[in-house]
């Protein structure tokens, strides 16, 4: 018997999780769809011109993704918060890796896919509604030389400034950042048995503050007066004269740092979650 991972056991676990939580998840998705629909409807009714513009659609997608994703992430291991549920969870004959992967499948992969589908469902409907409403308004109020421009359903993963090829796509960056932040909330759901969402939020804020203060103090102690220019590998030193002094580090420093922030944070936090679940006592 494979004690670490068996597909048969994992599929059983996925099936069981789906059957046990399916109704709850479906209701959650309906609620999210309702919130997006109501928000878009509010904008259509309140804003006369271009109510569902590119920033509105993209902004709504990411704001709701972060809020709902982190809230859902912080409830992913909530079973471990109560002894009866925790015993039921930990005593189930499956490996800790299978249990963690099952939670990540529902909490990260399926959540992201279904949320995106649900968002587009609401978005497509509301863009059509918005176009009919704004077209009716345009017919009623437009100036003679004014052309009616219907709104489009946007691709939330593309950069608004498409010609900016030399920089990373901020929307994809936001998505990668979401996975890292959500991973922190998932880890928080294992660490904190009560109020895990609030406690994780506070912990992240304290940690961010600590890092900012620490870096400012640490860097201030041994770096000359100045500031970073473009990335972490260019540091401009303040001089009294007109000549500019720049300290250059190899490019790979910048590349490695950003690659870590973008791609390694979430997997590392998922890995920590796995180890934390493995050593969880109840």
Nearer to another protein, 6 or 193 (CB): 6
**Closest separation between CB of residue 128 and another protein, Å?**
39
Cα 222 from chain centroid (whole Å): 35
- The encoded tokens of residue 138 equal 């345009």
Residue 93 CB, shortest distance to another protein, in Å, is 4
- Nearer Cβ to another protein, position 95 or 180? 95
Identify whether the C-beta of residue 39 lies closer than 8 Å to the C-beta of residue 60.
Answer: yes
Q: For residues 236 and 254, what is the distance between their CA atoms, to the nearest angstrom? A: 15
Closer CB to another protein, 98 or 123, in the complex: 98
Give the three-state DSSP class for 274: helix
Residue 89 vs 119, nearer CB to another protein = 89
Question: Taking the complex as a whole, how short is the minimal distance between the CB of residue 86 and another protein, in angstroms?
Answer: 8
Contact residues: another protein, CB under 8 A: 1, 3, 6, 9, 12, 15-16, 19-20, 82-88, 90-96, 98, 278-279, 281-282
Of the pair 85, 149, the CB lying nearest another protein is at 85
CB of residue 202 vs another protein: minimum separation in angstroms? 23
Q: Per residue in 166-199, is it b (16+ CB within 10 Å) or e — as a string?
A: eeebebeebbbbbbbbbbbbbbbbbbbbeebbeb
Q: How far apart are CA 266 and CA 20, in angstroms?
A: 27
- Are 228 and 249 in contact by the 8 Å Cβ rule? The answer is no
d(CA 73, CA 197): 9
Q: Which residues contact 123 (CB under 8 A, 6 or more apart)?
A: 36, 40, 52, 57, 61, 153
Q: Which is nearer to another protein, 118 or 277 (CB)?
A: 277
Specify the residue, 73 or 86, whose C-beta has the smaller distance to another protein: 86
Residue number, 23 or 217, with CB nearest to another protein: 23
Minimal CA–CA distance to 134: which of 119, 118, 152? 152
Shortest distance, CB of residue 12 to another protein, whole angstroms?
6
CB of 277 to another protein, least distance (A): 10
* Residue with token string 């918005």: 130
Q: At what angle do helices 170-191 and 265-278 cross, to 10 degrees?
A: 10
CB of 14 to another protein, least distance (A): 10
Query: Minimum Å distance from CB 281 to another protein?
Result: 5
Interior/surface letters 69-91, b for 16+ CB within 10 angstroms, e for the rest: bbebbbbbbbbbbeeeebeebbe
């Amino acid at each position: 018997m494979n004690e670490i991972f068996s597909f048969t056991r994992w599929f059983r676990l996925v099936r069981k999780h789906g059957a046990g939580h399916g109704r709850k998840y479906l209701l959650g998705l309906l609620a999210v769809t309702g919130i997006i629909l109501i928000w878009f409807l509010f904008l259509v009714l309140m804003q006369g011109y271009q109510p569902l513009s590119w920033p509105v659609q993209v902004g709504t997608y990411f704001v709701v993704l972060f809020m709902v994703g982190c809230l859902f992430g912080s409830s992913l291991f909530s079973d471990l918060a109560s002894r009866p549920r925790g015993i039921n969870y930990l005593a189930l004959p499956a490996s800790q890796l299978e249990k963690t992967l099952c939670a990540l499948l529902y909490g990260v992969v399926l959540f992201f896919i279904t949320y995106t589908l649900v968002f587009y469902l609401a978005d497509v409907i509301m863009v059509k509604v918005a176009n009919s409403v704004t077209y009716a308004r345009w017919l009623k109020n437009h100036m003679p030389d004014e052309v009616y421009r219907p709104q489009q359903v946007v691709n939330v993963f593309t950069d608004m400034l498409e010609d900016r090829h030399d920089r990373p796509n901020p929307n994809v960056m936001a998505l990668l950042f979401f996975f890292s932040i959500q991973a922190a909330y998932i880890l928080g759901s294992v660490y904190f048995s009560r109020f895990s969402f609030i406690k994780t939020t506070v912990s992240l804020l304290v940690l961010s503050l600590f890092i900012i203060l620490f870096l400012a103090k640490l860097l201030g102690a041994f770096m000359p007066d100045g500031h970073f220019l473009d990335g972490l590998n260019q540091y401009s030193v303040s001089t009294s004269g007109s000549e500019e002094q720049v300290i250059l580090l190899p490019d790979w420093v910048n590349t490695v740092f950003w690659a870590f922030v973008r791609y390694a944070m979430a997997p590392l936090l998922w890995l920590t979650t796995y180890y934390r679940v493995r050593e969880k006592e109840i």
